[in-house]
Structure 1
Amino acid sequence: MNRVLVPLLMATLVVGVAAPVASDDVGEVVRAGQWQLGALRLPEAWRESKGAGVLVAVLDTGVNGRHQDLAGVVSQGPDLTGAARSAGLWGRHGTAMASLIAGRGHGDGHKGGVIGVAPAAKVLSIRVTLENGDPLRAQQRSGGGNALAKGIRYAADHGADVISMSLGGGSGAWEGSADEEEAVQYAIGKGAVLVASSGNDGDAGNRKNFPAAYPGVIAVGAVDRRLRVARFSNRQDYLSVVAPGTEIVTADGDDAYVVGEGTSSAAAMVAGIAALIKSAHPGMSPYHVRTAIELGARKRPAAGYSRAYGHGVANALLALRAADRLDAPAAPLPRPGPYFGAGPEPSSRAHVVAGLLALVAVMSVRVVMTRQRRGRDLT
């Protein structure tokens, strides 16, 4: 079954002002809008770890390292899409995700702009899909050359400690791929922690979503400011945790910011938490990193687990404390089973060996804030 990479990124409202706005003012507004910093207890977690020494591979639409909040953070990996870059469309979603993972902010004391969950980590950008609305998508060669599987293997072979995939099945293709599942297991064998978004059709089809459903991948859903599961967040029995995913401000393009919603953002934040843990505990296995994140979750379901919340709402500080306990010399370590995820149905694996999962960058953007250069109007 042939598949073409199909990201989902919709801008519905542009907000501007009539007078020029100083860049410092924009930066302060952006930082003030990052409600997830308190929800994840990041200021406290940063006393223990900021992700130093960790490389996070962002498999997405590409990452624009020229954005002021990502200066010096990004190294460019391969473009596996088989398509050229369309002006103004390349790397917007990937840049947004990278900023949530390892944004540094900017300005005096880096107090403005987007700061990521792991602000001392580095990002490896691997382009595996095109932006929504990119006119080149129609010209993209069918299947994209198995981009996701190749991207996972490239990340693992080039030292990625964490692989972040804010992607999901789309365009009617919701099965898994044997090539992708093998790539996931290959990366886990190399010690990489894989994180993916659970999907954004929880209020519609609520379909099984890949790569989140592959065994070994940490699947992440979304919650709102009140820590309630977002209506769009997919509910599945392979869900690991949930994290902030509504009203999320991110970097966008060269000089802009976007406010959006989706499980994409939630997954990027949990990838950042994994980076904090890997920095503090470099030798910790992917399974035990996941265990620490789940043990550190708050607002846990009464039964201990649910398809909506997974093990609860991710919390960076509590995850680091759980990792400390797991990494203690005398700590009894839990042993993983054959899966920590449901995996594709046996009938679908053979069906898609030659194909590629259609990918969706699952972040539905609602408000765009663009800061023009050299003091021009905010448009």
Structure 2
Amino acid sequence: MRRWSRVVARSALALLVVGGVASPGSAAAAAKPLPQQWWFTSWGVQDRLWPSSKGQGVTVAVIDTGVQSALPDLSGVVLPGMDAEGGGGDGRTDVDRTESNGHGTAMASLIAAQGRGTGLLGVAPNAKILPVVAQSKPAYAKGIRFAAGRGAKVISLSQAVAGPCPADLQEAVTYALGKDAVVVAGAGNDGNGSNSSMSPANCAGVVAVGAVDGQFRPWAKSQRQSYVTVAGPGVQTSAILRDGKVSFGNGTSDATALTSAAVALVRSKFPNMSNREVVQQVIGSAMDVGPRGKDDQTGFGFIRPYRILNGTVPKSGANPVFDAYDRMAKNAQKTEAPAAGDGPKGGADMASVIVLAAWAGLGAVLIVVMLFVVMRRRKKGRPAPVGPVPGATPSFGAPYPPQGPGPHGPGPQGPGPQPGYQQGYPQQPPQPGPPHGPPHGSPQGPPPGGLPPQTYQDIPQQPPQ
């Protein structure tokens, strides 16, 4: 899902930066991000995020094309994973041979690159990467289950396939949420084209991410769908390919990986915060950057992880992602539950069976008594009775007593029609403006062809469109 601008690869500038700040074997803590990594300025990564968290203790699953773990920038970061497509590997070799030339490696570098080879740094350099090779919906489902079972607290899917969320994929997401994972997926890259609904982004419980540039303007190709939750950096983003070179690209893939890295920082600092609470905090941190309120291209807006780490996001805010998931799960339970009138398992029918059994038992006793009386009268020469014995059960063909509740009791048994699952999210009220005062720090250089990036403190509120 990454749209490569190609080809800015290991430029003289990058080599100068590498030589100056990241000699082989140097710690990531001593390195500085490349000048084109504008999100470091926008988020205040070095001076505001890293003093609180670098992602230590958190595993981020990257479900993609695998990760080239032998690269110096990813040395010691990548755990053994799996090939969900049946290739037999452990995910630590990137199998991408397309124009992207290492999509999974690029996503992993945005999350946890160490700056040892190219100078490029990930937002969560102390996190671990669990690589999963998966390029189809069935493989996504297998990969999500694998990652959740291995303890990944963040599952990142920079993937998008047109069509509704299939049942096995939704079940895998449900399994991961039950394991306390946060599932993040790209919204899609054809918003200015067919603008199809994409999975896994449209699966219930998934944080779907759109893309914005360094001025927080929505990327033209970012999907316009009601499932979009938030937006992240996704325009003129630099990442490392499987051959170890740096390249620029655009896409919701990059926005997804960087958002996953920010979530890893939160999960590292607050290990006891549930996935449900983390998602609520991510949504609550967002700054409205599109049309006023929640919109279909940037969701609730550009996420601001610093607000989560410093505790300024209210804990009582809305959580439409899990609200939608809860509705889906509730409707699924109602669909699977047996109707009250379907056979003996229904409560009213079981009561009817018990009543019938009691009547049958009483009838049998009365028949025995009647036979006894007839036999005694025959012995005495009296005629046998021609009508039913008073109190005896009706003969075959007579109606049984009415079953179930009468006209004044409850209505028809069994649940009525259930409302369909609605995936749309409620509109968010306008967000308060950012703190006043000068921006913290100076920009480290604009993204190529763009304006200097805004920082987390001088983000302007965009007027309604």
2:102: which partner in 1?
92
User: Does structure 1 residue 58 correspond to structure 2 residue 62?
Assistant: yes
1:297: which partner in 2?
286
Mapped contact 1:196–1:267 kept (Cα < 8 A)? yes
1:155: which partner in 2?
147
Deviations 1:126-181 (A, max 9, x none): 1112xxxxxxxxxxxxx68x211000000000110100000001xxx423210000
SS across alignment from 1:113: coil
Partner Cα distance (2:95, 2:323) in 1: 46
Q: Which ranges in structure 1 are unaligned for 5 or more consecutive residues? A: 1-6, 130-142, 347-366, 368-379
1:24: which partner in 2?
19
Equivalent residue in structure 2 for 1:312, among 277, 301, 325: 301
User: Does structure 1 residue 182 correspond to structure 2 residue 171?
Assistant: yes
Task: Give the stretch that moved more between structures: 294-303 or 34-43.
Answer: 294-303
1:266-277 equivalent positions in 2, closer than 5 A: 266-277=255-266
User: How far does residue 319 in structure 1 lie from its aligned partner after superposition?
Assistant: 2.9
Q: Which ranges in structure 2 are unaligned for 5 or more consecutive residues? A: 23-30, 333-447, 449-465
User: Does structure 1 residue 166 correspond to structure 2 residue 167?
Assistant: no
Mapped contact 1:296–1:320 kept (Cα < 8 A)? no
1:140-289 equivalent positions in 2, closer than 5 A: 146-169=138-161, 173-289=162-278
In the superposition, the TM-score normalised over structure 1's length comes to 0.74
Mapped contact 1:213–1:342 kept (Cα < 8 A)? no
2:420: which partner in 1?
none
The verdict on how the C-alpha distance between 1:11 and 1:33 changes in structure 2, with shifts beyond 3 A counting, is closer
Mapped contact 1:57–1:123 kept (Cα < 8 A)? yes
Partner Cα distance (1:277, 1:247) in 2: 25
User: How far does residue 233 in structure 1 lie from its aligned partner after superposition?
Assistant: 0.3
How many residues get paired? 314
SS across alignment from 2:184: strand
Partner Cα distance (1:176, 1:88) in 2: 24
1:337: which partner in 2?
323
1:133: which partner in 2?
none
The verdict on how the C-alpha distance between 1:12 and 1:302 changes in structure 2, with shifts beyond 3 A counting, is closer
The verdict on how the C-alpha distance between 1:317 and 1:332 changes in structure 2, with shifts beyond 3 A counting, is closer
The verdict on how the C-alpha distance between 1:286 and 1:17 changes in structure 2, with shifts beyond 3 A counting, is closer
User: How far does residue 251 in structure 1 lie from its aligned partner after superposition?
Assistant: 1.0
Mapped contact 2:7–2:248 kept (Cα < 8 A)? no
AA aligned to 1:96 is A
1:114: which partner in 2?
120
| Structure with greater contact order relative to length (CA < 8 Å, sep ≥ 6) | 1
AA aligned to 1:120 is N
Mapped contact 1:301–1:309 kept (Cα < 8 A)? yes
Partner Cα distance (2:176, 2:226) in 1: 23
The verdict on how the C-alpha distance between 1:324 and 1:15 changes in structure 2, with shifts beyond 3 A counting, is closer
1:124: which partner in 2?
130
The verdict on how the C-alpha distance between 1:17 and 1:279 changes in structure 2, with shifts beyond 3 A counting, is closer
AA aligned to 2:19 is D
User: How far does residue 194 in structure 1 lie from its aligned partner after superposition?
Assistant: 0.4
AA aligned to 2:323 is G
Deviations 1:276-300 (A, max 9, x none): 1111111222221111111111245
Partner Cα distance (1:39, 1:127) in 2: 31
Partner Cα distance (2:260, 2:196) in 1: 23
In the superposition, the TM-score normalised over structure 2's length comes to 0.61
Partner Cα distance (1:17, 1:188) in 2: 42
User: Does structure 1 residue 67 correspond to structure 2 residue 62?
Assistant: no
Partner Cα distance (1:274, 1:263) in 2: 16
2:39: which partner in 1?
36
Mapped contact 2:216–2:289 kept (Cα < 8 A)? no
The verdict on how the C-alpha distance between 1:96 and 1:26 changes in structure 2, with shifts beyond 3 A counting, is farther
SS across alignment from 2:34: helix
The verdict on how the C-alpha distance between 1:174 and 1:31 changes in structure 2, with shifts beyond 3 A counting, is same
AA aligned to 2:133 is R
Partner Cα distance (1:118, 1:290) in 2: 18
Mapped contact 2:240–2:246 kept (Cα < 8 A)? yes
SS across alignment from 2:255: helix
SS across alignment from 1:151: helix
The verdict on how the C-alpha distance between 1:16 and 1:66 changes in structure 2, with shifts beyond 3 A counting, is closer
Partner Cα distance (2:131, 2:94) in 1: 17
Mapped contact 1:293–1:314 kept (Cα < 8 A)? yes
AA aligned to 1:248 is T
Mapped contact 1:293–1:322 kept (Cα < 8 A)? no
RMSD: 3.3
AA aligned to 2:51 is R
AA aligned to 2:40 is L
SS across alignment from 1:56: strand
Mapped contact 1:237–1:342 kept (Cα < 8 A)? no
Looking at secondary structure, tell me which structure has more strand per residue.
1
